[in-house]
Amino acid sequence: MDESVIDRAVYAELRDTTGAEFVAELVDTFIEEGPGMLAELRAARVESNAERFRRAAHSLKSNGRTFGAVKLTALAREFELKGLDADPVRDVGGLAALEAEYARAVAELKALRNG
């Protein structure tokens, strides 16, 4: 397991304050909702809709923070603060990195949920 993907202390606190069973449900919800947020980011990039782009990044950041997904949070926050790049190609590259980090976070969260 990679400590740099999910901050164990944050995850443990979430589990301790809300219950293991509830956190398992919450992880499942995140796994269900995450692809939609990533798709929203891509769609907003295609449409050059800055508001949609910022809001989708904000939502991912917020959930990343909840689970202690450190890198995912940082990448999403960067998009939220920076907004749409003047060069779409740079955003597309960034989005691929974000999606890869999301996949890693989900894999870690699944392991933690089952562990």
Partner 1 sequence: MAEDTSRVLIADDNKVNRLLLSRSVELLGHRSALAENGRLALEKLRSEAFDLLLLDIEMPELDGFAVLEQIKADPQLREVPVIVTSSIEGLDNVVRCINLGAEDYLRKPVNQVLLKARIGASLEKKRLRDQQKALVRRFVTSEVADDLLQSDFALGGKWLCASVLFSDIRGFTALVESQGPEETIDLLNTYHMLMFDAIGSYGGAVNQIMGDGLMALFGAPLPLDDCAGSAVAAGQEMLGLIEQFNHERSAVNKPAIRIGIGIATGNVVAGYIGTQQRGTYTCIGDTVNLAARLEAHTKVAGCSILIDDATQRALGGSVPTQSLGEVPFKGKAAAVEIFSVMAGQLHGQS
List contacts with partner 1 (CB under 8 A): 14, 17-19, 22, 25-26, 29-30, 33, 55, 58-59, 61-63, 65-66, 77, 80-81
User: In the numeric block, which tokens belong to residue 58?
Assistant: 């904000």
Burial of 20 by CB count in 10 Å (0-12 exposed, 13-18 middle, 19+ buried)?
exposed
> Cβ of residue 90: shortest distance to partner 1, in angstroms?
21
Stretch (H or E) spanning 15: helix 8-18
User: In the numeric block, which tokens belong to residue 114?
Assistant: 């089952």
> Cβ of residue 51: shortest distance to partner 1, in angstroms?
9
Nearer to partner 1, 19 or 88 (CB): 19
Nearer to partner 1, 75 or 96 (CB): 75
Nearer to partner 1, 49 or 94 (CB): 49
Nearer to partner 1, 50 or 92 (CB): 50
User: 């923070």: which residue's tokens?
Assistant: 65
> Cβ of residue 69: shortest distance to partner 1, in angstroms?
11
Quick check: helix, strand or coil at residue 34?
helix
What's the CA gap between 68 and 73, in Å, rounded? 8
